[in-house]
Structure 1
Amino acid sequence: MSTTTPTPESDPAVFESQAGTVLAVVITTLAIATISVGLRTYSRAVMIRQFGMDDWAAIAAMIFAIGSGTMVATNTIYGHGRHIYSPTVDPTQLDKYFRTFYISIVLYNASLTATKITFLLQYWRILGTPQMRRVIMIAGVFVALWAISQLLVTIFNCSPIEKFWHPQVPGTCIPNLPFWYINAAGNIVTDVTIFVVPLPALARLNLRRNQKIALLGVFCLGFFTCAISVIRIQYLKLSDDVTWDNVASSCWSVGELACGITCACLPTIRPLLAKVFPSMQSQGSSDGKYYQHESSGRRGGSGAHKGHKSGTNDTGSTRSIIYPEDLELQSDDRSDKEVAVPAMQPPRVPAHDKYGKAMDRIKLGLKPTVTTEIQVGSPVSSSSGDRPRDNGTIEVKRDFIMTKSKYRSR
């Protein structure tokens, strides 16, 4: 701390304040992130009803980010945004300043950890092929170990912990520098790892070129978080005038959290945008691609496949629209085996005849089993009887197959 205290006569800037800037940045960035998480929650939980672990992780990240931002904003009461030697800063409140500063750092690292987990769980759900899951698991172990280790080091930065805001307490602390530089550099490396992992798999998706570019663009928005992390590094070194110098670092930190959370939410809110803007719906576009889910068997409930837009065709089967970002690639270890059959679609038997025959065979000692068949881009004959055309859909049919049972039913 400076040995001489400037006076209004020697330094007219002694009454300068950046408190308004701090409050504006915190409120604006956290409001955007909160809206993004809210839209994600509504889209996943209400519209398509596929709320999962990645969505819970996004909510946890948002809660920690709000806590960190709240601490940053609260610190303006204790002098954050003003010169430490300003007459408007009460020296007796500096202990509270550093205690609040410590809490904001811990919550910042907790939010970063939850955001990284959100991305990895999201990749696990969407890109759930065996090959991608191995890559995601390796990246996840690396990222999780780094994030959790940094969170623990931040919590136990000083021994005892209260020495962080009570310098006079006997004990030791890890020097802020180079620890903060190491922490920031490691976060940049893990961020780049997270955002690079899905790109090869996304590039191989069977989508039209414009859709593939749009999808890659949405995922690449995460690199803005890396850019913010790089910018933030230059503001980590603080002088004795810590209450003034820490403004830029804290604002970039809150902005980094908000940007990461928002980027994690963007790929999941397309169903909501398609509802608000019908022209964005896949089946409503001439070049749009959607995935058609059909079931020719009897359905329970209301007849609509949970979480998807549904309708009924002329064969009595239920049709659902699955958006590309919600298509979960099937792995080989699913209990309900699904076999890709690029063959012509066989003629269908009316549901009542099919199940009537099935019940008759059960009485004869035959065992009914259910099979699932997926047809990708199954050809459909045109009305003129010429060459078949591709309807660009995935069709799923569930039918009974009768096999001989060991025991007769009574």
Structure 2
Amino acid sequence: MFFSKQLLSGPAQGGGVSGWVSALLGSTRSDAGPVVTPASALSLTVLQNCVSLLAESIAQLPLELYRRAGGDRVPAVDHPLYAVLKYQPNPWQTPFEYQEMTQISAGLRGNSYSFIDRDADGVVQGLYPLNGEAMTVLRGSDLKPVYRMYGAEPMPQRLVHHVRWMSLNGYTGLSPILLHANAIGYAQAIQQYAGKSFLNGTALSGVIERPKDSPAIKDQSSIDKITGDWAEKYGGASNAKKVALLQEGMTFRPLSMTNVDAALIDALRLSAIDIARIYKIPAHMVNELERATFSNIEHQQIQFVIYTLLPWIKRHEQAKSRDLLLPSERREYFIEYNVSGLLRGDQASRYAAYSVARQWGWLSVNDIRRLENLPPIEGGDIYLSPLNMVDATKPIPLPPGKSEPTRAEVKEIERILS
């Protein structure tokens, strides 16, 4: 049993530690200056939005353990794992909380670890989350991963449920945070710059100017009285649109946004889009609505499910099947998230699709009601078939009570046509 050499091999980027190696070490300093860690990166609102959006979206999906029954599938309610996945993964977490925490850990660090509590027969009794920062992945002589928590004995693969993100070595996933430390550090640097600008800088709405040839007011109390009276009479929303009278040649000049302020706003927006790109989150889902329209948001929502959520869902499904089902059970049982609710369009589009499916006979009334979370009705399991649909390989049948035409009838038709 030894530390996998593959975990420390690979090409370096630039002159320092490569992005993927730093993803294994836990932190790295970005080119912009700030040290990037999963905890510091989570303070960025857009990154927190992306990570929590993925975690909450997956955690809210119904998770089912199915048993294959011929060409059908049925919920495996009698299997011990069913209650663990559906109702109580451990004594203090709900299924939503456990799945949310698992995805947050995978989204930040690229790996999520849980201890699998098994009885003497190997049946899963519970899932207990482990601290990923204290975990080391080893490789045994049989090439299977072995897991060691800091200060604890190594655990074999059968005792650890491991969900990993994109991997270069097959054993550990890369951390999205540290792999893209420069993009995140750039956003952190902009945020720090903006905070210090508000702390140390000045922001004036305007200035009152006096003519150059007028004598200067050297008494500070007089200056304070002029500016104080101006702010009291004309400052705030309650004094909007009032008319001011300036004497002694004074003028009021409002100050507009500087080019630096405008560039800072653009930089914040671009850094937010760049972080959303790391997690493949559509811009409108991080409240960047500059180019969003009502016509394209629905399609972007479906694309989010297909291209962003489904890869993560497949990782969780297949990791659960690998780690929680015994090898002898995998041909009969499988674990699946139900994403059909997220793929539903608006009400008019759904009802139009249901109408077509009902008329052409591949959905029954109760099938449609189940898709809409409605209870079944009596007689709702009947499938319709259009009357004008026939087998193309067989002759068209005659209507009831009709027989083949006689020779005289055929000649009479030919005479009429000629």
TM norm structure 2: 0.26
Structure with the higher helix share, 1 or 2:
1
Asked which structure has the greater CA Rg, the reply is 2
TM norm structure 1: 0.26
